[in-house]
Structure formats: C-alpha cells, structure tokens
A and B are shown apart, each in its own frame.
Chain A
Amino acid sequence: MDVNSFLATLTNKHKITPVKTFENGADELYVETNQAGFGAFCLALHQELCSPVMAMFARDLDDKFQIYCAFMNFQTQTWVFVTMKILKTEPEFKSIALQIYSANLFEREIKEMFGLHHLGNPDNRRLHLHEEVWPQGFYPLRHDFIPPNNEPSSAEYEFSLVEGEGVFEVPVGPVHAGIIAPGHFRFSVAGEPIINLEIRLGFTHRGVEKLLENKTPLECLKISECVAGDSAFAHSWAFCCALEKINRINVPDKAVNIRMILLELERMYNHVADLGGIALDVGFSPAQALSAIIKESIHVLNEKLTGSRFLKGVNVVGGVAKDLDFTAGKRIVDSLIQIRRDFKELETILMSSVSFLDRVDTTGVLRKKTAQDLGVYGLAGRAAGIKIDTRKGFMPCYDQVDFKLCSSASGDALSRLKVRMEEFSQSVNIICQLTEKLDNGKIVADDINIKPGFALGCVEGWRGPVLYWVNLNDVGKIDRVKIVDPSFRSWQGLAYAVLGEIIPDFPLCNKSFNLSYPGRDL
C-alpha cells in the first residue's frame, strides 16, 4: 500500500483530512493535523494499523509546541507520525489516552516536561519529577527553562487505595536488599494474593533528554551508551541509526555486519543472565552458577573483540570504530562452540527440573490483550503472543540472515523463559551466518557531514524495540532527542501480570520481565 492510497483510505473511511503530509526518508510518514483532528486521526491510525502508541513526545519550537505521536505500520514496515502544533499561549491539548491507553504514560510525561495539559485525562500523577523534590511550574524540556531554586510544595504522591476487610498495603522499596536500582512497589494484598500493585519509579531520573540538548552528536553518542547499561549497544546503535538516516549516510556492509554480531552478543549475555536470575529467585542455584559462567565467557569474548565488556565505544556515526577481521570471526566461532555446549547443559538443567518448572509454569501471566493495550512489545510481548520483532522488517540489515521469530502464546514466566532460550539459540545462528561474511571492507562511511533534519532510529534490543527520535538544528547540534526504551511501557505489564499471584512469587515475575530502571527513568 503506498502512502497516497493509505491516506485516501483514512480520509474516506474516517472522514478526516490532514493539513499537510510529507515523507521523511523511505520509512517515515509525517501527517500534520490541526488540534481538533489530532485525536480522531490518532484513533483512526491506531485502529487501522493495530499499533499502540510507540512514542509520543513534544518539541519546543520557540513560538509554538509541536506534539508527535508515532505508530508502526506493519504492512509496509514504516512509521507514521501524527503531529500538531500548539500555541504557547494556550498550553493544552485534548487527551487521546481515553481512547488509546498506550498514550497515557507519554501524555503524563509531556505534561511534566513541557507543562502541556492533557485535557480529559484523569491521570495527573507525576512520572519522573516527584512532587516531594520538584516544585510545580518548572518544565525542564522547554527551551526557556530555568532550574528551580524554591522549595517543593508539600504535596504527596497518592497511591491508589484498595479498601476492604483484610486488605493490607505492603510497601516495598525504593531501597532494596540487593544491588539494584530504586523503585517503590505498593502491593495491596488480601493474605498472600496480590489485589493491586502500583509501581512508582523515577527515583533515578537523570534528565537524559535535557542533557543531550545543544550537544554535538559525538558527545551524545557517549551519553546514549549510558542510558541503560545492559543495552549500551542497542541504544548507541539506535542513536547512530537516527543520525545516519538524517544525513543519508550509507553505512558500509561490513560495519552493519559487525553491529549485528555485537547486538546479538549483547542479547545473548543478557538472556543467559536472566535465565540464571530466574532460577536464583526460586532458590535453584546450580543453574544460576552455570549461567554466570556462560555470561562471563560472553563478556570475555566482548572484551577481546572490542576492548569493552559491555560493548561501549564501538558505534560511531557512519559505522563502527572496532574492526573485526577474519581471525576475529574465527575466534567468535570458537568461543560460540563452548558457549553453545554450556547453554545446552543449562537448558537441560532447567527444563528437566520438575520443582523449577512447577514454579515458573502459569506464574505471572500477561494476557495478549493487556500487552497489546499497554504497548508491551519486545520480549515480554512476544512471550504473550504478540509476534512482533523489529528485526523482521524494521531493520532491513537483518533481511540477509535467516532466523526465526520466537514467540509463545501463554504469557507466563515459563514462556518468557522459553522465548529467551530460543532467541539465544537464534542469536548464535545469526552470528555464525555473519562471521562468514567478515571481509576486508571499510568499517566507516567516508562522506559524513552533519545536516539539519530529523529521523527515527529503531533497534531491537534484547528487551524490545529501542527508539531514538533525533532532531538536529542548523548548526548540527541536538535540538531534541526522544528516547523510548521498551521498559517504559513494559513496567505496566508487570503490574498486571502479578495480579492474583502471591507475594512470594513477585520476585520471580519481576525477574522474568527483568525491566530496566534507568531505561524508564530517563
């Protein structure tokens, strides 16, 4: 379906016409609407494309604000952005979250960062800038923002209250016993079963998007690697991808191959660590010990290949900084033989232990409808039956390798475990296919000159799609970056998956998702 017929369908069927449309590169379509038509257009796209809101963000145009709302078009494997402009004198817009629930978190974020009120949305709670520490009336992503120096108001966050006989509230965190990032979990329980879980995050909000403003792409690349430490490579690739799209840079084939190999290595070390983590949380320690060995051997391989255990400092705009030659390819294959052998053993240990399977089977079920409504994509979504992997279609470089989209239908902890296992094996296959192609080609594109413009970079990290929407200003510096880590939406999925489970099973459910705190607390 080409763009015009697609728009014609929308116009005829839903009786709405856009103000202006334009294509940005091969795979992005921007549709500008007026304020009244924005909601209707988003809803029509949401229904036509069966896509949740993948990203929704605002931008300060100095005289106006512009709001973008991005959807995925699975048929043509493109992105559709609906945009509208808002006058600075009337900083408000009609909420679309009542019709499209996956927009809710984004709307709350826009309200907090830009002070644009989402009219009609009853959910006014703060996401990142907690009432206790951040005074009202300061909107950090506006260009004219001045850091607050007055005291925050005495307002307190209100948790949703569950009342009834024998219902207790169990507050957990933000400081936990293990060495993990902070998050507050408020359980409402009747005995052991969980009636409601409210997750409050944002304790480690670092203001990444503000930090990136007015910096050169090179400086931002370093920061993007630190957004979520366990997905350093996916984040930096997504950032590079956006810049390469803006500047129409043709990345050499060899650089793309190296990136794919390293992305799969990142996926592998995280997946195997999670398998061990899940086992450890149910007290099944030998599996964790073996998984730690496998994880470490992948880290060692990473270090030998790139000098960084976490694959930092590899991606550069236009290619990669570290060359992998034929001998490196041989080294990878050699290491993979041992890793694959150990992994088989780990699989056998996990899948042959009745006591372990008893714990994970049917625990923490995330239903497909819930995942779809919340926009839980990526690993957790695939385990719930949403067969979407942006490597299939949205990342054209993956067309040259043969791999299976791994999914499961039941959405419980066991299916998340199985999807991880399958994806690990698929990653090994992908890497083996790619190492044969390592030749003596170039690893960085020649013609790199930074031009103004905007584009969306998308990379399927191990948790799910990592999105970077980047806008460069006239002097080639960053005007606005919107980062969407899959964890942002998936945390809500966890809150639904644990309902009806008992409290001692929560750590297991949590680990089976293993969401990122820093990815959520940008």
Chain B
Amino acid sequence: MIEIACLAFLSPLLSGIISKIKNNLRFRQGPSIFQPYFNLSKYFSKEEVVSSSCSWLFRLTPYIVFAATLSALLLISFNRVGDLIAVIFLFSLARFFLALAGLDPATTFGGMGSSREMFIASLVEPVAMLSVFAIALSAKTTNLTFIFAQQSMSVPTIMATLALFLVALAETGRIPIDNQETHLELTMIHEAMVLEYSGRSLGLLELAGYFKQVFFFWLISSLILPGFNEPVFLIIKMLVLCLVVAAVEVSLAKMRLFRVVDFLSFAGILSAMAIVALVLGA
C-alpha cells in the first residue's frame, strides 16, 4: 500500500523528468522537473468554467476517469486480486466516458478529438489485450502479483513487452501518435477532448493521465529484467524508460493520423508472434 501511495505521489514527476530531458536534448533549459506539481496545484485552486450547453456527463466524467485510473493503479498492490485484463477494462471505461465528454459541449475540437481517440482506441485495445495474453501465457496467470514474481525473461515476453511499450506511447499521448506539447487544436487527439475542461476537473484528468503513465512505466519496468524488482531497481528502470521515451519523442516526427494503423499493427504482430512462439514452445 505504501508502494502505491509512493507511485501515485511520484507519478507527475515522470512527466516532469521526460519534459526536462526533452528540453535538454533540444539545447533548452526547460521548466523544473516539479512543474507538473505546480500545474496541478494551480488547477485545483482555480475556478472552473463550464459551458452552459454541457450536460451532467461533462461534470461527472473527470471523477469517473480519475476513479477508474486510480483503481487500476491500486490493483497493483492487492495481493492475488490485481488482474491485468481488469486493468485494460478500467482504462477502456475511462476512455469511453472521456470520449463522450469530448462530444458533450458540441465544440469544434472536442468531437474531432473523440472521433480520433476512438479510432486509435480500436487499434490500441486489441493490441494491448494481445500483449497481455502473451505475458499471461508465459506466466500462466493474469494475476499481476504472480506475473511480477517471474524470475526469468523469455524471448516472447521481450516481444510482448516491446509491444506493450508501443501501446504505452499511444496510451500516454506521446509522439509519434499524439503530441502533448502542441497548441494546434486541429492536430490534437487527447488534448482536443479535454480542451473544454478547466480548474479542478482538468486537474483530475491530468492526474489520471499521470497515474496511467506511471502504471504503464511500472508494468514495463517490472517485466524487463524481472530478477531485479526491488524498489530501488524499479526506480532506476523507470528513469531509464523516461530517457527512452524522451529520446523517441525528440527523434521522431508525429505520424500522419492514418499511419498510426501501421505503427500499432506492428505492435499487434509482435504480440501475436509472441503468443504463437509461446504456444508452439510449450
């Protein structure tokens, strides 16, 4: 439980660190790594503005998204209860409501964001499932606790982990799928859906985003070199992952929207091959 509290508390730091590395790679100083905390405290102390044409759905969504993502994070620690498939479903639940909330204010960009988010989700979710199955096949369980108790790493799990990394890039709205830094509403995906949010609601959604990110980072870190899953090693592995994500973001341009299909199919094929290898190998 303490572990989860730490993870939750440190989750915004990941974004701060990635942003810092990115800026340094671009010969810039960039804001402090604690900037996400300052942003959050700003959001929670600000007044919220809600369009008069919005329904209850718009107000409720941030709480649902926050609750769903927090539950996913909590599943890590509950012994023998945490189920990887349940996590994927919790994220889908959050996405479902967020997409509806994007449509609710009937603005130009919200609808575009929701439509794109669902388009990408239709690719991300099956791929995420496939890679989860591959990992589960290897560990012979979908229970998170037992998956993390694995001591060795086989080639199929490496492939599945790589697929999971690509999924994580898509899920956390990073280049080459989405661009968190852009101000161009016409190109946004996730940002377009939450464009109408302000104040506390925006803070909750941002926080949920950090939780989701830390969950994926933590999952991937635990799957790589599973012999070293003490907290210190986990933190080191997550920092290395931050470096990798920052390097990917700086070295690639954002893909054309319809190219995302190719990108995620690649992840899908990787996990499918992992499953085939596991079945044939067993």
Binding site for B on A (CB under 8 A): 170-172, 177-178, 192, 279, 281-286, 288-290, 293, 353, 355-356, 358-359, 502-507
Interface residue from A171, A289, A359, A506 paired with B254 (Cβ < 8 Å): A359
B256 interface residue per 8 A CB criterion: yes
A283 near B257 with CB under 8 A, answer no
* Chain A residues within 8 Å of B251, by CB: 286, 353
Number of interface residues of B (CB under 8 A): 28
A-B interface, 9 closest residue pairs, ranked by CB to CB distance from nearest? A283-B254, A284-B253, A289-B26, A283-B179, A356-B253, A355-B253, A177-B183, A282-B253, A504-B187
- State whether B184 touches A172 (Cβ < 8 A): no
- Residue B124, interface by CB 8 Å: no
- Which of B27, B112, B255 is A289 in contact with, Cβ under 8 Å? B27
When the two chains form their complex, are residues B256 and A286 in contact, meaning their CB atoms are under 8 A apart? no
Question: Min CB distance, B188 to chain A, in Å?
Answer: 8
B182 A283 Cβ-Cβ under 8 A? yes
B32 to chain A, nearest CB (A): 19
Chain B residue at minimal CB-CB distance from A349: B251
Query: Nearest chain-B residue to A505 (Cβ)?
Result: B256
Contact A284-B252, Cβ < 8 Å, known A170-B108, A178-B184: yes
Complex CA–CA separation, A355 to B263 (angstroms): 12
Contact status A286-B257, CB under 8 Å: no
Cα distance A506–B256 in the bound complex, in angstroms: 11
Known: A170-B112, A502-B257, A502-B258. A355 touches B252 (CB 8 A): yes
B46 interface residue per 8 A CB criterion: no
Q: CA–CA, A178 to B250, complex, Å?
A: 21
Q: What are the interface flags for B172-187 relative to A under an 8 Å C-beta threshold, 1 for contact and 0 otherwise?
A: 0001100101111111
User: In the complex, which residue of chain A has the Cβ closest to the Cβ of B119?
Assistant: A192
Q: How far is the CA of A172 from the CA of B188 in the complex (A)?
A: 14
8 cross-chain CB contacts under 8 A: A172-B108, A282-B253, A289-B26, A359-B255, A502-B256, A503-B186, A504-B187, A507-B184
**B residues at A contact (CB < 8 Å):** 22, 25-28, 108, 112, 116, 175-176, 179, 181-187, 250-259
With A286-B25, A289-B27, A358-B259 already in contact, the answer to whether A279 and B187 are too (CB < 8 A) is: no
- How far, in angstroms, from A172 to B187 measured CA to CA in the complex? 12
Compute how far the CA of A177 lies from the CA of B195 in the bound complex, rounded to whole angstroms: 11
- In the complex, chain B residues whose CB is within 8 Å of the CB of A288: 26
Complex contacts, B179 vs chain A, CB 8 Å = 283
Q: Which residue of B lies closest to A508 (CB)?
A: B187
| Residue in A closest to B182 when the chains form the complex, CB atoms | A283
Interface centre among A172, A288, A355 (most CB of B within 10 A): A355
Chain A: which residue is nearest B174 at the CB level?
A283
Complexed CA–CA distance, A358 and B260 (Å)? 13
Contact with B186, one of A279, A355, A504 (Cβ below 8 angstroms): A504
A279–B250 Cα distance when bound, in Å, is 12
Contact A358 B256 (CB under 8 A): yes
B28 and chain A: residue at smallest CB distance: A289
Please determine whether B250 and A285 come into contact, CB atoms closer than 8 angstroms. Answer: yes
Which of B26, B184, B185, B252: most chain A CB closer than 10 A? B184
Tell me, in angstroms, the Cα distance from A505 to B25 when the chains sit together.
Answer: 26
Contacts of B187 in A (CB 8 A): 281, 504, 507
Which residues of chain B are near A171, meaning CB under 8 Å? 108
A290 shortest CB reach to chain B, Å: 8
Bound complex: CA A170 to CA B181 (Å): 23
A276 CB to nearest chain B CB (Å): 11
Among residues of B, the one whose C-beta sits closest to the C-beta of A280 is B182
